[in-house]
């Protein structure tokens, strides 16, 4: 038995509406995924101090681990990353639709459907690129921290990061200086210890090596973004 024409039209419109809704949900999901990959890559390479504030970040004693909070700053950073991604996808999709509409075969196609299809394509490409960026950042950081864990002497750290940017014996008056570098979960600061600070580019971190009598006694680390302005290096 054939359906009445009115029911056929209704079902067709319903199917199109559902497909469009699924397309928009997929688009938003891809944009959010691309944003999250970039966010996580930034955390690994540069740390969160730039958007949550240095006082809201605590560097763990374990290399590469840190704790942070500041919901407002985190939300704003997610928004800051999402806006340029969405704007880029929208611009690319608009230009693509403008070009495709010149084809006779697509002149009757709805602009919003062409735009959605193009946006899905570019969002998928952007998600792939950001995922690749995150993967590279993750491998880079894992390799650096693994090599840092294997360092057993100052010479080993010099091979890893180059010459230290600071070398001094700290006193009680240097406590404020150490606090200006970052918030440490378990700082190795102790008056009389020798401190050498090594700088690395990717990830952008400082390694703080505490030593005494020629032996390494403790090691701290922090992202360079956690350091207060005016550090002497």
Final residue belonging to a domain, choices 149, 174, 207: 149
- As a whole number, the mean pLDDT across the chain is 91
Confidence tier at 233 by pLDDT (50, 70, 90)? low
Determine the pLDDT at residue 227.
Answer: 92
Q: What is the pLDDT of residues 100-127, one digit of tens each?
A: 767 655 556 678 888 999 999 999 999 9
Determine the pLDDT at residue 105.
Answer: 57
Q: Does the residue 231 lie in any domain?
A: no
Q: What is the arithmetic mean of pLDDT over 115-143?
A: 96
Same domain, 126 and 182: no
Distance of alpha carbon 178 from alpha carbon 184, whole angstroms: 9
Final residue belonging to a domain, choices 111, 130, 149: 149
Same domain, 62 and 161: no
Same domain, 24 and 137: yes
Final residue belonging to a domain, choices 93, 116, 149: 149
Same domain, 44 and 104: yes
Q: Does the residue 233 lie in any domain?
A: no
- Omega into 203 within 30° of 0, i.e. cis? yes
Judged by average pLDDT, the poorest of 15-29, 54-68, 131-145 is 15-29
**CB-based contact 133:38 (threshold 8 Å):** yes
pTM: 0.88
Structural domain count, the chain: 2
Determine the pLDDT at residue 103.
Answer: 64
Which is more confidently placed, 134 or 113?
134
Distance of alpha carbon 83 from alpha carbon 31, whole angstroms: 10
Q: Which residues does 218 contact at the CB level (< 8 Å), separation at least 6?
A: 188, 193, 210
Which is more confidently placed, 187 or 233?
187
Same domain, 42 and 111: yes
Same domain, 142 and 49: yes
- Measure the N-to-C terminal CA separation of the chain; round to a whole number of Å: 83
Q: Structure tokens of 127?
A: 């998600």
Q: What is the arithmetic mean of pLDDT over 53-78?
A: 95
Same domain, 64 and 159: no
Q: Structure tokens of 122?
A: 């570019």
Same domain, 45 and 67: yes
Q: What is the pLDDT of residues 203-225, one digit of tens each?
A: 999 999 999 988 999 999 999 99
Determine the pLDDT at residue 213.
Answer: 86
- Number of H helices and number of E strands within the chain? 6, 7
Determine the pLDDT at residue 183.
Answer: 94
| Domain with 202 in it | 151-226
Q: Structure tokens of 198?
A: 């090594």
Burial 206-232 (b: 16+ CB within 10 A, else e): bbbbbbeeeebebbbbbbbbbbeeeee
Determine the pLDDT at residue 11.
Answer: 67
Judged by average pLDDT, the poorest of 60-74, 90-104, 147-161, 171-185 is 90-104
Distance of alpha carbon 37 from alpha carbon 231, whole angstroms: 31
Same domain, 42 and 109: yes
Same domain, 102 and 92: yes
Same domain, 72 and 26: yes
Same domain, 113 and 19: yes
Percent with pLDDT over 70 in the chain: 90
């Amino acid at each position: 038995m054939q359906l009445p024409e009115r029911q056929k039209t209704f079902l067709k419109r319903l199917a199109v509406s559902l497909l469009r809704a699924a397309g928009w949900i997929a688009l938003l999901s891809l944009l959010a995924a691309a944003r999250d990959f970039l966010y996580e890559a930034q955390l690994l390479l540069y740390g969160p101090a730039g958007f949550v504030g240095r006082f809201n970040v605590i560097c763990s004693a374990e290399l590469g681990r840190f704790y942070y909070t500041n919901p407002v700053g985190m939300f704003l950073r997610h928004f800051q990353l999402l806006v340029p991604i969405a704007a880029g996808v929208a611009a690319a999709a608009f230009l693509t639709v403008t070009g495709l509409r010149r084809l006779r075969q697509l002149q009757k196609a709805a602009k919003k459907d062409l735009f959605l299809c193009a946006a899905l394509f570019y969002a998928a490409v952007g998600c792939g690129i950001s995922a690749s960026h995150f993967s590279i950042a993750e491998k880079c950081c894992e390799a650096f921290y693994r090599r840092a864990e294997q360092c057993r002497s100052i010479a080993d750290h010099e091979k890893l990061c180059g010459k230290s940017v600071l070398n001094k014996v700290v006193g009680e008056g240097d406590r404020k200086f150490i606090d200006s570098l970052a918030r440490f979960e378990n700082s190795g600061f102790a008056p009389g210890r020798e401190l050498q600070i090594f700088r690395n580019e990717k990830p952008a971190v400082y390694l703080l090596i505490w030593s005494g009598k020629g032996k390494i006694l403790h090691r701290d680390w922090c992202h360079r973004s956690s350091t207060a302005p005016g550090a002497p290096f």
